Amino acid sequence: MSVKEIKEVLTSIRDDSMLMINRLTEATAIGERQAVASEQISTSMVELASSVENIQKVAQIL
């Protein structure tokens, strides 16, 4: 293998590694956004359940 070929292989490995790092970074960001969204949904569900309880109490009074 010539020096030029070795350089091309190493450049290709570097480029592939950078692509993998970028994809992992994107996947991590997506995971973090999903976690935040799940937490917000959970909070909303708790608030909704509380509202339902309050509505049921008012309905019993009426």
Q: What tens digit of pLDDT does each residue of 9-41 get? A: 999 999 999 999 999 999 999 999 999 999 999
Residue length of the chain? 62
Confidence at 44, pLDDT banded by 50, 70, 90: very high
Beta carbons within 8 Å of 52's beta carbon, 6+ residues apart: none
* pLDDT score of 62 more than 90: no
Helix/strand number for the chain, H first, E second: 1, 0
Segment 40-54 shows an average pLDDT of 96
pLDDT at 53: 92
